[in-house]
Each structure stands twice: as structure tokens, then as C-alpha cells.
Structure 1
Amino acid sequence: MAKTKNSPCTIRKRLEQQVAILRRELASARVDQNDISRKYAARVRQQAGSGSFSDESLKLKKRIKILERENHEQNQYISYLEEQIKLMPAQYESRMVDLKKSAKLAERELNKVYHGMRSIKEQIKQVDKLKDSVAILKARLERRDFIIAHYEAQNSKKTVIVEDLQGHQKSESRHKKCHTTTPTPKPTSEPTDVTAESETEPQGSLLVEKYKKLDNIRAPLKHKLKSVDFCSLAAALRMKGKQSGSI
């Protein structure tokens, strides 16, 4: 794995390099300080016999004090850096422990989120299944209602036709009773049986066959009724009776 700029290894190396540079600078400063101290000591010995100190010796003395202060500050800074280098592994370890704790907490939260997402997906699938089943049930109900309405309409039409046929047969039977003078066959027994059958049998798919039977019965009945003219028959019988009376 590539090392980043802020990794502890790079920071430690950078600090160690900085300490090495400071140590070199401190060593050179000490060399300068020693040279100045020797010059100052030689100057002091030369001027000791005369009993007076020149300006150059005073300047050397000030320079020595400045170098001593700078060297002391550099020594303190170097000791601080060395202490930081020593403390860095412990600080890094504590920081890594904190990071691991926060990473574990984040992982737990992510697991909770993933679990919630999975449960939501399952609920969505269940809702979709329920929607599909509801749509199928609605389609079946609509089809059932359509079929029921269709059969009800057919049954209502067939019942109206049957009622009309029964009324027509009753009116024809009354008309025959009023105008019959000669015995004529009554072809009303078969339709009455059919009507009784239609009243007793259940409605449904058999109603179509009943309607066909009623149509088959009604057609020859009309043909028979049209072939016999009751009025002309009655007039002919009256004329025949008059002729026989006159004879």
C-alpha cells in the first residue's frame, strides 16, 4: 500500500530528518562558539596587562552570549522533537484504536441500513404480489359480472318471448271457444305441456333448447290456424241448414 503524506511513517521520517539537520546546525554553532570563546580568551589575556578592554573584546563577549542562547534554544527544540518522535507510536496507536472504534460503529450502522433496505425490498415485493392478485381478482369479478349480465339479459328476453307466446296461445284458445260450431282438434295440449316444462325446468343453458322447441311448435300451430277460416265455415254450415229445411 502506498504511503500518504500524513501517514505516521512519513511524519516520523520528516521529524528525524529535521532533528538531524538541527543537530548539524547545533554542532556548527558550537564550533563557532568555541572559536569565538578562544578568540575572546586570547584577547582578554592580551589586554589583561594593560588593565583596559577594547571594543572588540566586548563585541566578542556579546557574540558569545548570543551563541550560547541560540544553542540552548536549539537544544530545547531538539529535545522536544525527540520527545515527539518517542511519543508518536503511542499517539498513533491510540489514534488507530479510536479510528477502529468509529469504523466498527459505522459498520454497525451500515449493517442496520442494509437490513432495513432488504426488509423494505421484501415488503415492496409483497405489495407488488398483492397488487397483481388484486388485479387478477378484479378482472375475474368483471368477467363474472359481464357473464351474469349477459345471461340475465338473455333470460329476460326469453321469458318475455315465452310470456308473449303463452298469451297468444290463450287468446287463440278463447277465440276458438267463441267461434267453434264443429268439433275441431285442439292443438293446444302440446304447447301447454311445453309451457309446463318451461316452468318446471331450470333456466340457463337449457332455455335455448326450450325456445327452439317453442318456435318449432308455434310455426305449425300458426300454419294450422291460418288454413282453417272459422267464419266461412260457420256461414257454409248455416247455408246448408237452410237448404235442408227448405227441402
Structure 2
Amino acid sequence: MTPPKLLDKTALKERELLIINSAVLLIQQNGIENLTMDKVVAQVPFSKGTVYKHFIGKEDLLLAISNYSIKVLGDLFHRAYQFKGCSRSRMLLLNFSYLIYAMLYPALFQTVLCSKSPNVVGKSSEKHINDGEQLEIKLMTSIHGIVEDGLNDNSLSLLMNMDIQQLCFSNWSMAYGAITLLSGEVEQCSGRTSLIVERELFNLSNMLFDGMGWKPFTKDRSHCAELKIALAELFPEELALISAKGRELNFDSFS
């Protein structure tokens, strides 16, 4: 009898990613609530036992999908963080990288929130819980780094009774709220309302930044023109994929 072939770490990671992508496709088609391990097993060229070697259950799989999602988002955030520009422009760019992520990966965007529930975490493996914690730290490094740059060059000062974490949370919750509440406009600009997600994200970001006293103020800088140039430079492939889906970022609506 031929002994089973031992896979190296790269092959195991590729197999795990194939399972994750198959689960994401099922979520896109049927919703998170209808995802089951049996449905995932039916979509992959592996036995049920093999799938369970990677994920101890549905909740563990959801957390792994969330971790994969945070990796994707972290790459976009890191590009915004490294962009050569003033700190305020880079934070605006980071917020729009979040919108790009939601446009391209709506199933991932939805799964992250679900994976934070106590039920999911409580039934997940220690490995995926630890991986998630490390990925979140790395993700937040980009956001904190931009704020720290603003503090260091004196274009930003901490508001009374607020620390860096609270300031970063204010920005994150604003961006998440705008994208989530206008989710119907994320994948396609339907015109069903007068609210266009990219315009409202732009407006809310600048209202928040002006309120924080983050320079240069909206009245002193053409943030829209700078943002358009920066997005084209940093995210050409992502913008092309969005265009291929029949969606464009509507910069004309900003004026």
C-alpha cells in the first residue's frame, strides 16, 4: 500500500486557500447563513476528512475567511500608508482603498463582521484565532502610522480626551458606516437615491478631518483631484477589475 503523500507548507497553504475560495463563492451565491461544511466539501477535490484537517468546523472556516480578508485589505491599506503625500491625503486614500475592497470583495466584507461574533470565535481553532489577532495588529499599523505621521509633522493634534486609538476608531467607524449603509450603491451606482457612496465617503472623511483640525483643510486643498491621481497610481489593477464589473468611481459627483 502506497503511503499518503506528505505535503509541504506551501502545498498545504494552497490547499487551504482553495477551500477558502470555494467557501467564499458559496457565500456569494447563497449567503453566509446557508454555508455548511458539507456544501464546501462538495465543491472541492478533497475528502471530508481532509477539509476538517484544515478547519474544525464552519465557524473555524468563517474565521479563516476573515483572516484571508484582512490580508487582502491589509495590502491595500499598506499601499495607502506608503504613498508619498501628506498624512491627511493618505488617510483619505486609505478610506477609499476600503471602498475598493468592498466593491471587489463584497462576500469578504460581509464575512469579517460575522466572524467577530462570540459564537464563531468560541468554536474556532487557536491557530486561526491567533492568526487573526496578528493580522489585525498589522492592519492597524498602517492606520496608526498615518495618524502618527500627522502628529509628528504638526498637521494634526489630538483632540482633548482622545488618544490615537480613539482617533483611528473614529475614522474606521465612519468609513465602515458609510460603505455599509450605502451597500446598495457599492457594487453598482443604481441611482436609486441621491446618495452616492464614493461622494458621501469623500464628504464624511473631509468633515471628520476638518473637525479634527487635520491640515490642509478642505477649503485650502483640492483633495478630490489629488485623490483621483493617487488612486490611479496605486490601484490600477483594482480599478480595472471594478470597471470590468460595470462600475466606475464617480468623481464627477464630488463637485
TM-score over 0.5 for the alignment? no
| TM-score, scaled to structure 1 | 0.20
Q: Which has the higher contact order (CA 8 A, sep 6+)?
A: 2
Higher helix share: 1
Higher radius of gyration, 1 or 2: 1
